[in-house]
Amino acid sequence: MFYVGNRLEGSVDLVGHGETVFGPEEGARVLASRPPRPDLAPDKDLSDDTRLWALLQQAGGGTWGGCVYDVDAIAAALARRADTADPGGNPSGSAGHD
């Protein structure tokens, strides 16, 4: 684990599968070619306040960013999103929220 800016990052190298052994580059290619699990999805019962907290954490640098909202980063993310909104204010590809 190491810090990149204000993010804590780490990595895992796949160096084989079963009896087949290969290097990290081939492992990265194999992993990149795998689709995500079909059941991988946010919990449908996640409350709106928890979803909002998670989004603010993500926009502000994540949990390891100090657990403090980075208001400038959040404002920049919202500004970027507003720049891609359609005339009705919906982000590109979004139908809006009821």
> What is the reported pLDDT for 22?
86
The band of 33, judged by pLDDT with boundaries at 50, 70 and 90, is: very high
Do 8 and 1 contact (CB within 8 A), yes or no?
yes
User: What are the structure tokens assigned to 80, written together?
Assistant: 């970027």
* 49 vs 31: CA distance, rounded Å: 33
0.85 cut: is pTM over it? no
Give the pLDDT of residue 77: 85
Q: What are the boundaries of each domain within the chain?
A: 1-40, 42-98
20 to each of 17, 31, 71, how far by Cα in Å? 5, 14, 48
Which stretches of the chain are DSSP H helices?
A: 24-33, 48-59, 71-83
